[in-house]
C-alpha cells in the first residue's frame, strides 16, 4: 500500500469516527429531550449522508483515475513546446 492510499484510508477512518461521535451525541441529546427530531428530519439526514458519500466517492474516483487517452503532441511536448 503506497503512502497516498494509506493517507486516504486514514482520512476515511477519521471521517467515519467523527460522524459516529456526532451521531452518538445527537442521539443522546435527542433522548435527553434537548433536541426535537422528527422522523422526517432523521430520514432526510440519512438521505443526505448517503447521497453525499456517493458523490464524494465519485469525485475521488474521478480525481484519482488515470487518463487512458493518448496525449497529443502539444501535451507530450516539453515545457517550451519542444521534444
DSSP calls for 52-70: HHHHHHHHHHHHHPPP-SP
pTM for the structure as a whole: 0.48
Check residue 69 and give its pLDDT: 58
The answer to whether 6 and 12 are in contact (CB under 8 A) is no
What are the boundaries of each domain within the chain? 3-64
| Cell digits of residue 83 | 521534444
Check residue 51 and give its pLDDT: 92
Please write the tens of the pLDDT for every residue from 9-41: 888 899 889 988 988 888 888 888 887 878 788
Mean pLDDT of the region 1-5: 77
How far is Cα 4 from Cα 7, in angstroms, rounded to an integer?
A: 5
Residue 26 exposed, middle or buried by CB count within 10 Å (0-12, 13-18, 19+): middle
Percent of the chain with pLDDT over 90: 4
Q: Does residue 77 surpass a pLDDT of 70?
A: no
Amino acid at each position: 500500500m503506497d503512502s497516498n492510499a494509506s493517507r486516504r484510508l486514514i482520512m476515511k477512518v477519521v471521517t467515519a469516527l467523527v460522524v459516529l461521535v456526532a451521531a452518538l451525541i445527537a442521539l443522546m441529546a435527542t433522548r435527553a429531550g434537548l433536541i426535537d427530531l422528527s422522523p422526517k428530519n432523521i430520514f432526510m439526514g440519512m438521505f443526505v449522508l448517503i447521497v453525499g458519500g456517493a458523490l464524494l466517492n465519485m469525485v475521488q474516483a474521478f480525481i484519482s483515475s488515470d487518463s487512458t487517452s493518448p496525449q497529443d503532441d502539444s501535451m507530450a511536448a516539453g515545457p517550451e513546446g519542444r521534444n
